[in-house]
Structure 1
Amino acid sequence: MRELDRDHAVQRLQMAYAEGLLDAGEMETRLEQALTARTPGTLATALADLPDEQVVLAFLGGRLKRTGAWRVPRTLRLVSEYGHAKLDLSRADIGYPAIEIALELEYGSARLILPRRATVDLSGLQSAWKPPVYRNSTRPGAGTLHVQVSGKMGYGRLKIRHRS
Structure 2
Amino acid sequence: MTALPEDRTTLIGEDDRDTAVQRLQEAYALGHVSHDDLDERLHRVLTAKTHGELVPALASLPEEDAGTTSTIAVAGGRIQRRGAWRVPRMLKVESAFGRVHLNLSRAIIEHPVIDIELQLGTGRAKITVPRDAVVDAEGLHAGWKDSRYKAPRRPRTGGPKIRISGTMGFGRLTIRHARR
Q: TM-score under structure 1 normalisation? A: 0.69
Equivalent position of 1:163 in the other structure: 178
Q: What is the Cα deviation at residue 127 of structure 1?
A: 0.9
Q: Write out the 4+ residue segments of structure 1 that deviate beyond 4 Å after TM superposition.
A: none
Q: What is the Cα deviation at residue 141 of structure 1?
A: 2.7
What are the superposed Cα offsets for residues 24-57 of structure 1, whole Å, 9 maximum, x if unpaired? xxxxxxxxxxxxxxxxxxxxxxxxxx55231100
Q: What is the Cα deviation at residue 3 of structure 1?
A: 5.2
Q: Quick check: which has more Rg, 1 or 2?
A: 1
Equivalent position of 2:85 in the other structure: 70
2:61 maps to 1:7: yes
SS in 2 for 1:68: coil
Between the two structures, name the one with larger relative contact order (CA 8 Å, sep ≥ 6).
2
Q: TM-score under structure 2 normalisation? A: 0.64
Equivalent position of 1:110 in the other structure: 125
What are the superposed Cα offsets for residues 3-36 of structure 1, whole Å, 9 maximum, x if unpaired? 5343233xx4xxxxxxxxxxxxxxxxxxxxxxxx
SS in 2 for 1:154: strand
* RMSD, aligned α-carbons: 1.9
What are the superposed Cα offsets for residues 112-145 of structure 1, whole Å, 9 maximum, x if unpaired? 0011121111111111111101133353333211
Percent identity at matched positions? 42
How many residues align? The count is 125
Pairing 1:140-155 to 2, within 5 Å after superposition: 140-155=155-170
> Equivalents in 1 of 2:100, 2:133: separation in Å?
20
Q: What is the Cα deviation at residue 78 of structure 1?
A: 0.5
> Equivalents in 1 of 2:172, 2:157: separation in Å?
30
Equivalent position of 2:103 in the other structure: 88
User: What residue ranges of structure 2 are gaps of 5+ in the alignment?
Assistant: 1-55
